């Protein structure tokens, strides 16, 4: 057993994949994401993934994060405040229907509309033109055909070395939500078939509990 202050042996094997799969299903199905907040605003996220996003934003010197799916704005506020700490960057958060009570922050720009609408994509393209390091986080409609279309349309905004993150691949990967049917994991599978521009980075699942298994796509 690892005690505080004791180093875990590097040769100690990780838990078997099946144990992790079940642990992830238990975590997701507890629906604790319904009670996960950032600074008082609900963020429907796995906190382990939030930590990884922060690590990536710092390492890649991200200066534009494009989020599809705002909901209550907790994730947008998290990204904006991380940017504030880093002294650069902004978030574009897109939702088909923006609520009136979203958190406001100088580093957040909300856009209302479908994430695949031409006028929305034009605004995203304009913002991307002046950014050096762009990350895309797809967290809107999770049905496989829609997610795949989003991936196809947003891939071009991701700068080399940065990531497109297909949120909630856990639905149909573990699967944690089999009732949903083909979702983000199916979309990733289709997007990645024969795709030479992106690679799946599983090293970002090192915290073991994640809503994005196989969904961290690194642009080469
Ligand atoms: C999973 S929630 C987003 C969660 C949020 N990013 C968070 O972490 O708290 C999905 C959101 O996507 C929005 N949405 C659904 N279809 C959409 C579409 N076609 N375009 C843009 N947003 C969409 C919904 O209105 C909903 O607010």
pLDDT surpassing 50 at residue 39:
yes
- Distance (Å) from CA 15 to ligand 1 centroid: 33
Distance, CA of 172 to CA of 93 (rounded, Å) = 25
Ligand 1 in reach of 172 Cβ (< 6 A): no
Give me ligand 1 centre to Cα 142, in Å. Answer: 9
> Cα–Cα distance between 20 and 203 in angstroms, integer?
15
Instruction: Please indicate whether residue 95, judged by its CB atom, sits closer than 6 Å to ligand 1.
Output: yes
Task: Kindly state whether residue 15 falls inside one of the protein's structural domains.
Answer: no
Residue 94 in domain:
yes
Of ligand 1's listed atoms, the one at least distance from the Cα of 97 is 25
- Number of Cβ atoms within 10 Å of the Cβ of 3: 5
Q: At what angle do helices 47-59 and 74-86 cross, to 10 degrees?
A: 30
* Residue 34 counted as domain residue: no
Any ligand 1 atom below 6 A from CB of 70: yes
**153 φ/ψ angles, rounded to the nearest 5 degrees:** -80, -30
Structural contact between residues 158 and 131, judged by C-beta atoms closer than 8 angstroms = no
Is the model more confident about 194 or about 170? 170
How many angstroms is it from 111 CA to the middle of ligand 1? 12
Establish whether residue 159 lines the binding site of ligand 1, counting it when its CB lies within 6 angstroms of any ligand atom. Answer: no
How much is the pLDDT for 9? 62
97 lines ligand 1 (CB under 6 A): yes
Residue 177 lies in a domain: yes
The model's pTM: 0.94
Give the residue among 142, 119, 140, 118 at the shortest CA–CA distance from 66.
140
Does 83 reside within a domain? yes
Average pLDDT score over residue span 8-27: 86
> Which residue range is the domain that position 103 belongs to?
59-219
Has residue 12 got a pLDDT over 90?
A: no
pLDDT at position 6: 57
pLDDT at site 14:
76
Query: Distance between CA atoms of 156 and 164, rounded to whole angstroms?
Result: 10
Q: Is 8 a domain residue?
A: no
Q: Is the residue at 19 inside a domain? A: no
- CA 220–ligand 1 middle distance (angstroms): 27
| 24 Cβ closer than 6 Å to some ligand 1 atom | no
User: Which of the four pLDDT bands, split at 50, 70 and 90, describes residue 138?
Assistant: very high
pLDDT at 185 over 90: yes
Q: Which residue has the higher pLDDT, 13 or 117?
A: 117
Q: Which two tokens stand for residue 198?
A: 């992106």
Predicted confidence band at 10 (pLDDT cuts at 50, 70, 90)?
A: low
- Gap between the Cα atoms of 145 and 155, Å rounded: 15
Largest CA distance in the chain: 55
What radius of gyration, in Å, describes the C-alpha atoms of the chain? 17
User: Considering only CA atoms, which residue is closest to atom 26 of ligand 1?
Assistant: 71
DSSP labels for 42-94?
A: E--S-HHHHHHHHHHHHHTT--EEEEE--TTSHHHHHHHHHHHHHT--EEEEE
- The predicted model gives 7-28 an average pLDDT of 86
pLDDT at 1 over 90: no
Summarised one tens digit per residue, pLDDT across range 62-107 is 999 999 999 999 999 999 999 999 999 999 999 999 999 999 999 9
Q: Is the pLDDT of residue 3 over 60?
A: no
Q: Is residue 215 a part of any domain in this protein? A: yes
The count of structural domains within the chain is 1
CATH, residue 155? 3.40.50.150
| 204 within ligand 1 shell (Cβ under 6 A) | no
To the nearest whole number, what is the mean pLDDT of the chain?
A: 95
């Amino acid at each position: 057993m690892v005690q505080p202050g004791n180093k875990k042996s590097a040769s100690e094997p990780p838990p078997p994949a099946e144990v992790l799969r079940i642990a992830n299903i238990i975590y997701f199905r507890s629906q604790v994401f319904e009670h996960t907040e950032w600074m008082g605003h609900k963020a429907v996220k796995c906190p382990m993934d939030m930590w990884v996003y922060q690590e990536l934003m710092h390492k890649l010197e991200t200066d534009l994060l494009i989020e599809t799916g705002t909901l209550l704005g907790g994730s947008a506020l998290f990204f904006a405040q991380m940017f504030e700490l880093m002294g650069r960057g902004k978030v574009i958060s897109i939702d088909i229907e923006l609520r009136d009570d979203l958190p406001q922050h100088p580093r957040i720009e909300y856009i209302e509309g479908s994430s695949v609408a031409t006028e929305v994509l034009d605004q995203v393209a304009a913002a991307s033109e002046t950014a050096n390091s762009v990350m895309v986080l797809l967290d809107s409609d999770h049905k496989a055909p829609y997610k795949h279309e989003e991936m196809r349309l947003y891939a071009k905004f991701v700068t080399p070395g940065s990531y497109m993150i297909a949120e909630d691949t856990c639905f149909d990967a573990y699967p944690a939500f089999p009732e949903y049917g083909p979702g983000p994991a199916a979309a990733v599978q289709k997007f990645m078939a024969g795709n030479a521009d992106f690679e799946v980075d599983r090293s970002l699942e090192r915290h073991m509990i994640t809503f994005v298994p196989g969904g961290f796509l690194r642009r080469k």
